Amino acid sequence: MLNENTIAIIKSTVPVLEVHGTAITKRFYQLLFASHPELMNVFNHANQRQGKQQTALANTVYAAALYIDKLETILPAVKQIAHKHRSLGITADQYPIVGQNLLQAIKEVLGDAATDEILNAWAEAYGVIANVFISVEAEMYKEAEEQQGGWAGYRAFRIERKVQESHVITSFYLVPEDGGAIAAFEPGQYVSVKMSIPDQKNTHIRQYSLSDAPGKPYYRISVKREDSQPGKDAGVVSVYLHEQVKEGDVLWLSAPAGDFTLDLKETRPVVLISGGVGLTPMVSMLNTLVDTNSDRPITFIHAAQNGQLHALKQQVEEKIGQAAQAKAYWCYAQPTEQDAGTYHKEGYVDLPWLQEVIPSKDAVYYFCGPTPFMAHINRQLLEWGVPAADIHYEFFGPKGSLDEAEKEPVA
């Protein structure tokens, strides 16, 4: 436990972290990769280049300082990050390395303002925070390995089927190369895929939501092809999966992880809203509800540019048809002539339309998609008076801010 003096010092740095947090974390990653280049095999290079990882870490450090005397307040955020760490294979012996470079970054960015007293307080506080993460992650590693069909690290899965779902999304049906059982998962969770790509210096790891219900003899991921550019990391993995990987090839997967999950104990109506490839965890949730004969009313809403970019449409419609209490609605921003009669709304999802197609506001809401889309949906639901406790969403990649995303265009 931290003493009162250390807590007071840490709290005194909160205003500084609010201003300089991202500069500190940017410098931190520079120092980290310079001293331990092997860690470039763990982190998503595209998120680094785009600044997403630096911003996410800055927000975490800020929250830790703000609630240093009440760390239980940030436990949900700790668990969310811990799921990512367990999925990536972050180990306890890497935490001292992180601490050393984080303190060095604080010292360099703040200069004379980073007194010995402040640095010593942060060193002590970091030790406490790191131990929280290590403890939570140790339990997750144990559960992932010891559950039926579970495993440690990465396991080889063979691509049994590769199916093009739209012009930009392809599904991969994955079965264990060793022929053994596979771990169950909660609808909404993801797996990490580790890939060594020719002509790429480092290993790449990406998380992909599982897009079918648990209990099948396979895992399914549905991957959107992202545009790649020479010298850029964004799209490297998805393009390789789409263009080079074929049926019979092997992918290396970590056990399922993630805290964005469908509450199967809930009995109220459920509303699933997605944009673009954000439908993947939503389809997993829908399939689970129908396959388990849930009597909960289900409203499934998906937004896409047009029918050519609308993946898994037929599968969702077939699944909806198996449940009398389920309805699906499509919203196309820019429908083509071929889409005539195949969608329910042109333009963007808005509150009047949501109020029209959702039978009752008293429901549990899950949504996923591009961050500006999620910010828009979140604002619509809050304006309607939906309690924040009934609203659940998932960021693809490092956790961002829906408030900041409000400034970006929805499409």
Among all residues, which ones are annotated catalytic? 95, 137
CB 97 within 8 A of CB 32: yes
190 is in an annotated binding site: yes
382 is in an annotated binding site: no
167 is in an annotated binding site: no
379 is in an annotated binding site: no
332 is in an annotated binding site: no
CB 184 within 8 A of CB 130: no
278 is in an annotated binding site: yes
21 is in an annotated binding site: no
111 is in an annotated binding site: no
207 is in an annotated binding site: yes
115 is in an annotated binding site: no
Strand partners, 368: 274, 394
240 is in an annotated binding site: no
Binding residues for FAD: 190, 206-209, 395-398
Binding residues for heme b: 85
Binding residues: 85, 190, 206-209, 276-281, 395-398
Binding residues for NADP(+): 276-281
